Amino acid sequence: MVVVRQWCTIFTNVSLPAFCCILNPPDAKTQLLASVMDALNRALVRFQPFIAWFQRVTHGWNWYRLAFLFIPAFIRGDLKFFSFYLPFIFGPLLKRVVDQFQAYHDKKDDVKVQLKISLEDYVSFTYSAIRDTIIVWIFLAFCYWNENDTRVLGNFYLSSFLVPMIRICFPGRTKGPLKNGTRMWDTTWGEVLAHVFIFAGLIASWKIQGMDQLFLGFLFLLAIPTIQDRFWWKPTQHFYLICAIMLVCLPFLSVGISSRFFPTYLEYFPKSFYRTLCIFANARPRVKDYYAVLGVSPDTDMKTIKRIFRQLSIELHPDKVGDDKEKLSKFHAIREASDMLTKKRAQYDKAIENQEQDEMAPRCEMFMYMMHMWIVYTLLDWVQVEDTTEASKKALKNYIMNERELDSRINLDAIGIGKEDEEGKNKLREIADKHEADLPVVQGRFIATGNREDIMAMRTLLRKQKVELKPFPEVKGKLVAVQQQVVIEPMEGEALNAMEDGYKGWTATVEAVDILTSSAKTVTLVVARHQSNLGLRHVLTFTENLGMEPEMGYSSSVTLAPPKGSSLSPVKAKIGWHLYPERSQVLVLGASDPSMGDKDMPKLSEEENFYSGYKLELWNDKTLVGYQRVYIYDSKTKSVILKRGLVETGGGDIEPGKTTYKIFPDQLLPQDRDSYTPNDLSSARGA
């Protein structure tokens, strides 16, 4: 609509006046056209508030999908079967209610997981939830008044409301068992419960109804969307999966297609074929065996059937059996059987002869419709993925072609181009310009940073263009030590040594409250390094872990004692603010060991902060025991400060001298550091 409006504006204000100036005198038709276009432009301007309101009210509706369903149905005249299209309206209505609860639930405190919402937001949420719930009930009331078949709406209630609410109400995380130090799964309890519910629902519905509405609802509204989510970025594999499923289910699809488009072909399938389908579909023929009710065979003549009915009716007549409910029930059953076999025997015999066919035809037709919808939605998703892929590649191309410094936007060391290699940079720009389709699709959880596979894809592109690359900057070696840092501040009336490493080798006794356990602890360790930054900020690095995360402020203190034989006096300080005070925060790395990987493995870099933003992993043999991203790399001490506390997988203990490290880039477009470091502060003062 915006494009139409812009086109009308340009045509009315620019193209049309220029065209009119050529004509002399002005043509009446041209003036009329100009008036019409001007009126259309004004109408679109007035219509704009309605468009904005419509988009706001219908937020979350996939209108193009509904149009894809309803417009062809309207052309074919299928809208008279309104019950078939009810779910495609009912589902989005329920989704609106779920979205309201999701928005409400997202407003929670990240620490105590308590809802933090203002009274105004709460009133707004309550109003919206009540309004959307009323809309749902109005829709159901209309369906009841219009006498529509609403049996299938129960499936949409489960898929569009109950299962999403399960996912929302159980946000706690659960992790699977370790496999080589990596969790087999890491998800929420809501996701686990939803999968259990879907699996149990599939089994129960198949057991109760067989391949009928309830089972197909669980399959195509709950199970298959879960598959679609997993394969969304893999449309080709998803399509192959559908083809494989269609091949396995070809017997059901053949009956469904024949029933819908070629009914006469149903007679060509043998009875044994239908019986086999009934077994796999757990479908029991619903036609009563009236011959068995009367105790006769199907080839019994009419006279014998009437005689046996008279005998049984005399024995079971209500005047004779009185209030015996069992015999009264048998009497009604034999009368029903007699009516069918004496009045509609030919029709009944045909129904018995084709009862498996009559049972499977509607089920297979419904299955065929569901498979059709799966294919349609898969193709629509494929189009969306292709659009997203194209947009991502174009964005990466523009990112590379930007006039800013290339090394500030892309990890040149990772893709093998030196920061001073102007020829390599120009080649990279040329590849981005001429081979846009071959660029990787850069993704990310929150920010599009790319991953290791994207880096390798860029290296492959550069190799194809005969660009000489540096080795991939992945380094492996032994872990030397695990340390921890604290920031100290002088007590009131005291001063601290401003010299670099002024307290190196001193013994520090830390008395503090552990944030993790809320208990007071006392730990004595040796200071491995002291950074003073001209006396403005004092950072102590201990030779080992403190075994706690000390609380900051006057409640915690550090007593520094000089080495034996020193004439200096002990110093007492308080623990100050540290950006990352977690345990296992500082790791000292040993020299790179080519025997642990590629023979061309580079040595640990001598460049300060070369590995900032790289990923570091710790391994015991083939088991991953911990990982985190590097924040600061000190080339002098060959140590790294992690961006957060080390994430331990539970795969074993970290043992310096035995545990190995692996440090490598895993972001093609690295994130900027989100805070200042002591080096940044000192550089700023020097500037």
At 113-143, the pLDDT tens digits run 444 556 676 677 777 777 777 877 887 787 7
DSSP state of 221: I
Per the confidence metrics, is the pTM higher than 0.75?
Answer: no
**What's the confidence (pLDDT) of residue 679?**
43
Give the separation between CA 128 and CA 192, rounded to whole angstroms.
Answer: 29
Query: For residues 523 and 508, is the Cβ–Cβ distance under 8 A?
Result: no
Place of tokens 């790399």: 633
Calculated CA dihedral for residues 328, 331, 332, 335, nearest 10 degrees: -170
In the predicted model, is pLDDT for residue 436 greater than 90? no
Nearest alpha carbon to residue 420 among 428, 412, 431: 412
Query: For residues 428 and 460, is the Cβ–Cβ distance under 8 A?
Result: no
Q: What is the mean pLDDT of residues 503-520?
A: 88
In the predicted model, is pLDDT for residue 663 greater than 90? yes
Q: Which amino acid is at 416?
A: G
In the predicted model, is pLDDT for residue 16 greater than 50? no
**What's the confidence (pLDDT) of residue 618?**
92
**What's the confidence (pLDDT) of residue 674?**
43
In whole numbers, what is the pLDDT of the chain averaged over residues? 77
Give the separation between CA 629 and CA 647, rounded to whole angstroms.
Answer: 10
Per-residue confidence band for 566, with pLDDT thresholds at 50, 70 and 90: confident
CB-based contacts of 216, cutoff 8 Å, min separation 6: 155, 366, 367, 370
Give 18-54 as a DSSP string.
HHHHHSSSPPHHHHHHHHHHHHHHHHHHHHHHHHHHH
- Which architecture characterizes domain 234-379 according to CATH? Orthogonal Bundle (1.10)
Neighbours of 274 (CB within 10 A): 24
Q: Inter-axis angle of helices 235-248 and 355-401, to 10 degrees?
A: 170
Per-residue confidence band for 366, with pLDDT thresholds at 50, 70 and 90: confident
Structure tokens at 154: 């129960």
The CA angle 496-497-502, to the nearest 5 degrees, is 135
The pLDDT tens digits for 57-105 are 555 455 555 666 666 666 666 655 555 666 667 777 777 777 777 776 6
In this structure, of 187-191, 491-495, 628-632, 653-657, the range with the lowest mean pLDDT score is 491-495
In this structure, of 243-247, 319-323, 499-503, 641-645, the range with the lowest mean pLDDT score is 319-323
Nearest alpha carbon to residue 588 among 514, 519, 659, 510: 659
**What's the confidence (pLDDT) of residue 534?**
64
In the predicted model, is pLDDT for residue 10 greater than 60? no
**What's the confidence (pLDDT) of residue 568?**
87
Give the separation between CA 570 and CA 559, rounded to whole angstroms.
Answer: 7
The CA angle 101-102-107, to the nearest 5 degrees, is 100
Give the separation between CA 51 and CA 407, rounded to whole angstroms.
Answer: 44
Query: For residues 321 and 328, is the Cβ–Cβ distance under 8 A?
Result: yes
Chain centre distance of CA 476 = 33
In this structure, of 194-198, 323-327, 531-535, 573-577, the range with the lowest mean pLDDT score is 531-535
In the predicted model, is pLDDT for residue 532 greater than 90? no
Query: For residues 214 and 656, is the Cβ–Cβ distance under 8 A?
Result: no
Q: 73 versus 556: which is more confidently predicted? A: 556
Neighbours of 400 (CB within 10 A): 21
Neighbours of 389 (CB within 10 A): 16
Please report the beta strands in 452-547, taking only residues with DSSP state E, as ranges in sequence order: 475-490, 507-513, 520-531, 538-542
Chain centre distance of CA 492 = 53
Q: What is the mean pLDDT of residues 666-686?
A: 53
Q: What is the mean pLDDT of residues 516-541?
A: 84
Place of tokens 């449309």: 235
In this structure, of 119-128, 203-212, 330-339, 551-560, the range with the lowest mean pLDDT score is 119-128
Chain centre distance of CA 205 = 27
Give the separation between CA 681 and CA 687, rounded to whole angstroms.
Answer: 10
Structure tokens at 94: 């329920």
Nearest alpha carbon to residue 480 among 639, 653, 593: 639
Give the separation between CA 102 and CA 165, rounded to whole angstroms.
Answer: 8
Per-residue confidence band for 535, with pLDDT thresholds at 50, 70 and 90: low
Structure tokens at 470: 């540096």
Give 5-19 as a DSSP string.
HHHHHHIIIIIHHHH
Kindly list the domain boundaries of the chain, sorted by start residue. 2-57, 77-150, 159-230, 234-379, 403-439, 479-575, 586-686
Structure tokens at 203: 């089994």
CA distance readout (Å), 56 to 52, 59, 297: 6, 5, 68
Q: How many CA atoms lie within 13 A of 361 on its CB side?
A: 17
Per-residue confidence band for 667, with pLDDT thresholds at 50, 70 and 90: confident
DSSP state of 563: P
Neighbours of 264 (CB within 10 A): 7
Q: 3 versus 66: which is more confidently predicted? A: 66
Per-residue confidence band for 8, with pLDDT thresholds at 50, 70 and 90: very low
Nearest alpha carbon to residue 643 among 659, 625, 629, 662: 629
Give the separation between CA 224 and CA 466, rounded to whole angstroms.
Answer: 45
Per-residue confidence band for 284, with pLDDT thresholds at 50, 70 and 90: confident
In the predicted model, is pLDDT for residue 54 greater than 70? no
Local structure of 521: helix, strand or coil: strand
Query: For residues 216 and 224, is the Cβ–Cβ distance under 8 A?
Result: no
For 663, phi then psi, to 5°, come to -125, 130
Q: What is the mean pLDDT of residues 35-54?
A: 68
Place of tokens 């120009």: 426
Containing 259, the helix (H) or strand (E) segment is helix 250-261
DSSP state of 550: B
- Choose from 9-13, 177-181, 191-195 the range with maximum mean pLDDT: 191-195
Per-residue confidence band for 479, with pLDDT thresholds at 50, 70 and 90: very high
In sequence order, what are the beta bridge partners of 512?
521
- Choose from 346-350, 506-510, 607-611, 619-623 the range with maximum mean pLDDT: 506-510
In the predicted model, is pLDDT for residue 437 greater than 80? yes
In this structure, of 19-23, 277-281, 443-447, 564-568, the range with the lowest mean pLDDT score is 19-23
Q: What is the mean pLDDT of residues 9-17?
A: 42
- Strand pairing class (586-592; 178-179): unpaired
The pLDDT tens digits for 207-241 are 887 888 778 878 887 888 888 888 877 888 888 88
In the predicted model, is pLDDT for residue 38 greater than 80? no
Q: What is the mean pLDDT of residues 555-583?
A: 83
- Nearest-Å Rg of the Cα atoms of the chain is 38
Residue 25, preceding bond cis, omega within 30 degrees?
A: yes
Q: What is the mean pLDDT of residues 552-565?
A: 85
**What's the confidence (pLDDT) of residue 561?**
92
In the predicted model, is pLDDT for residue 419 greater than 90? no
Q: Which amino acid is at 516?
A: L
**What's the confidence (pLDDT) of residue 232?**
79
Local structure of 232: helix, strand or coil: coil
Structure tokens at 403: 């006039």
In the predicted model, is pLDDT for residue 300 greater than 50? yes
**What's the confidence (pLDDT) of residue 13?**
43
**What's the confidence (pLDDT) of residue 111?**
39
Structure tokens at 240: 């192959």
In this structure, of 87-96, 172-181, 261-270, the range with the lowest mean pLDDT score is 87-96
In the predicted model, is pLDDT for residue 478 greater than 90? yes
